[in-house]
Amino acid sequence: MTVAVVHAAQPSRKAPPGDLAMWFFICAELLVFGILFLAYAFARARNVELFNSSQASLDRVSGLINTLLLIAGSWAVARAVAAIQQGQGRGCSRWLWLGFLLGGAFAVNKVLEFGHTLGAGITLSTNTFYMFYLLLTLFHFFHVLLGMVILAAVAIKAGQGGYRADEHAGVETAASYWHMVDLVWIVLFPLVYILR
Amino acid sequence: MVSRTINRDGVLLLLLTLCSFGLGERGGHGLLPWTVILGLALIKGRWIIDRFMALGPVGGVFRWLLLGWLCATLALIAYAFVGTLPSA
Sign of the four-CA dihedral B45, B47, B50, B53: negative
Rg (CA), chain B: 15
Chain B residue with CA closest to A21: the answer is: B62
Phi and psi dihedrals of B23, rounded to 5?
-65, -40
Q: Is A81 on the interface with B (CB under 8 A)?
A: yes
- Rounded to the nearest 10 degrees, how much is the dihedral formed by the CA atoms of A96, A181, B10, B55? 90
Beta-bridge partners for A172: none
Q: What is the pLDDT of residue A5?
A: 40
- Select the residue of B28, B45, B60 nearest A194 (Cβ to Cβ): B28
Contact A83, A92 (CB under 8 A): yes
pLDDT tens figures, A132-158: 999 999 999 999 999 999 999 999 999
Q: Is the pLDDT of residue A2 over 60?
A: no
Q: What is the pLDDT of residue B86?
A: 78
Q: Is the pLDDT of residue A13 over 80?
A: no
Q: What is the pLDDT of residue A15?
A: 86
How much is the average pLDDT of A168-192?
Answer: 97
Q: What is the pLDDT of residue A47?
A: 94
Burial of A47 (0-12, 13-18, 19+ CB in 10 A): middle
Contact B54, A173 (CB under 8 A): no
Q: What is the pLDDT of residue A8?
A: 41
Partners of B34 on chain A (C-beta within 8 Å) are 195
If one counts every other C-beta atom within 10 angstroms of the C-beta of residue A184, the result is 27
Q: What is the pLDDT of residue B1?
A: 67
Average per-residue pLDDT in chain A?
93
A167 secondary structure, DSSP code:
B
Contact B31, A58 (CB under 8 A): no
Nearest alpha carbon to residue B53 among A149, A13, A145: A13
Q: What is the pLDDT of residue A4?
A: 40
Q: What is the pTM of this model?
A: 0.92
CA distance A119 to chain B (A): 25
Query: A164: helix, coil or strand?
Result: strand
- d(C-alpha A25, C-alpha B60), whole Å: 17
- d(C-alpha A85, C-alpha A163), whole Å: 9
Q: Read off the amino acid at residue A32.
A: V
- Select the residue of A176, A179, A190 nearest B38 (Cβ to Cβ): A190
Cα separations (Å) of A36 from A8, A56, A71?
45, 21, 22
Chain B residue with CA closest to A40: the answer is: B77
Intervals of chain B under pLDDT 50: 88
Partners of B70 on chain A (C-beta within 8 Å) are 183, 187
Contact A136, A41 (CB under 8 A): no
- d(C-alpha B78, C-alpha A45), whole Å: 11
Complex ipTM, two decimals?
Answer: 0.94
Contact B14, B27 (CB under 8 A): no
